[in-house]
Amino acid sequence: MTDLAPLRRALLSVSDKSGLVEFGKALADRGVELLSTGGTAKALRAAGLEVRDVADVTGFPEMMDGRVKTQRPVVHGGLLALRDNDDHVAAMEAHDIGAIDLVVVNLYPFEETVAKGAEYAEVIENIDIGGPAMIRSAAKNHGFVTVVVDVQDYDAVLAELEANDGQTSYALRQRLAQTAYARTAAYDTAVSTWMAAQVGETPRRRTFGGTLAQSLRYGENPHQQAAFYTDGSGGAGVATATQHQGKELSYNNINDTDAAFELVSAFDPADGPACAIIKHANPCGVARGATLKEAYSRAFDCDRTSAFGGIIALNQPLDAATAEEITGIFTEVVIAPGADQGAMDLFRQKKNLRLLTTDGLADPRAAGLAVRQVSGGYLVQDKDVGHIDLDDLKVVSKRQPSDQEMADLLFAWTVAKHVKSNAIIYVKDGATVGVGAGQMSRVDSTRIAARKAEDMAEAMGLPAPLTQGSVVASDAFFPFADGLITAAEAGATALIQPGGSMRDDEVIAAADEAGLAMVFTGMRHFRH
């Protein structure tokens, strides 16, 4: 094997035909023989290029609706043969196998087919067989063969042919081989993940794949390398959003923006505007309002200190009035399902403020997987899409919640799912007024949330904290009555919690003694 390998014969079979004709012309101009099939061959011939059908090489026509066309020894022998191995060369001569020096293949659009909600049979037909086989053969023999699976690598190949008189370097071929194996691995991951959902059983093996969206300067900390990958699932969110201004998102920006958008998407815009402000993946304010501006202002008033440098998510398109209000403090990112021109003009004056727009909101009930790496493996679980409605609630106290309390309880419960456990959320009139997150003791979360409300009351010149007359949500049951008593001392009048503790009777009795209304959900939302 030498460093430089000549490129005399290429096989092209692509689903994505972007740049195909230009690439094919550049190869043909260098005297490279073009082999192709199906729509790829048709596109190249339409551009006036001479193309030899793979069927002419194999001696077999395409058959079975294109399922069988390249799976022949004459193709794979041409890809796998070691050019410096006398036995391999002899076998090629004996069986009339011509060397193939370049394979250009991008695969059937399986991921896109799944994302659009296609029926089972259509998804199956979009599982590529011949493509991955050729990619793997070419990649294995990268000592001599160049393999291209991404349109963005066309220019790199042409540059090397220009620099090396029609040859490619080993370094390029090796890099492209790694890219090729990563592509087939991600493709097989998409297929196996989809199949696992169809079968409905815990699969023996799990893989995870993605496509590089952007390299990141660093991870959570400067000493950590990081990158952002997309999984091809589509859907509205940070992965598919359009960034209109500002520097690239950081690792923490992406993480927090995702948390913010997932939370605000739980509030149906048909029920009115909503805003979520996130800091370090925890909500520091969530609110509804008569207008988007009011929703933001009410969310901001929950914890003005933490909101500085935070992430803002909106459930309706950003308007100029809200944009002007947001620019009152430093904000890292704003994400919304659209923005009007006035808002965008205002934001352009804040060059460090990133604005992301999406085509809609995320589906809060869409199934998915949550993955966490641990030493030696991965923890995999269903994404928490648990949902309760008014009819699911069980009043366990003597006092019945009022209609307003019940509405606030459901609001608080919606937020609770997005707060790190142990989570305590105080809500009043459709806005959070205190959030306690991530404490080892639920009582401490309750106290912290109440203290934040006291601090904001002082800062805003209010006569009393807004926890007075509020409701409280707890992401898991109160194991003891002390957490409930602490909430009552802060002024809460009603509570929502999963129930299920051995001391439920004790907690219910404490609620009744304090005159509190309490409802059980029967569902918890630990977020570790």
> Which DSSP helix (H) or strand (E) runs through 452?
helix 442-460
Q: Which two tokens stand for residue 8?
A: 């005399």
Round to whole Å and give the CA distance between 70 and 135: 12
Instruction: Annotate 130-182 with three-state secondary structure.
Output: HHHHHHHHHHHCCCCCEEECCHHHHHHHHHHHHHCCCEECHHHHHHHHHHHHH
Q: Which one of the listed residues 280, 350, 383, 398 is annotated catalytic?
A: 280
| 240: exposed, middle or buried (Cβ count in 10 Å: 0-12, 13-18, 19+) | middle
In the 8-state DSSP scheme, what is residue 421?
A: S
Q: Coil, strand, or helix at residue 97?
A: coil
In the 8-state DSSP scheme, what is residue 128?
A: -
Q: Which two tokens stand for residue 525?
A: 């939302």
What does R_g of the chain's alpha carbons equal in angstroms? Answer: 30
Q: How many CB atoms lie within 10 A of CB 290?
A: 10
Diameter over CA atoms, the chain: 95
Is residue 418 annotated as part of the catalytic site, yes or no? no
Select from 68, 32, 82, 76 the least CA-distant residue to 52. Answer: 32
| 256 phi and psi angles, rounded to 5 deg | -70, -35
Q: Which one of the listed residues 140, 244, 350, 398 is annotated catalytic?
A: 140
Round to whole Å and give the CA distance between 113 and 119: 9
Q: Which two tokens stand for residue 19?
A: 């740049």
Are 235 and 252 within 8 A, CB to CB? no
Q: Which two tokens stand for residue 321?
A: 């009035």
Round to whole Å and give the CA distance between 136 and 134: 5
User: C-alpha distances in angstroms, 300 versus 296, 313, 331, 452?
Assistant: 6, 12, 12, 13
| 308 phi and psi angles, rounded to 5 deg | -60, 125
Torsion of CA 148, 150, 153, 157, to 10 degrees: 20
Q: Which two tokens stand for residue 379?
A: 């923890």
Angle between helices 38-46 and 20-29 (to 10 degrees): 70
What are the strands, taking DSSP E only, across 383-446? 394-395, 424-427, 432-436
Is residue 387 annotated as part of the catalytic site, yes or no? no
What residues act catalytically?
Answer: 140, 280
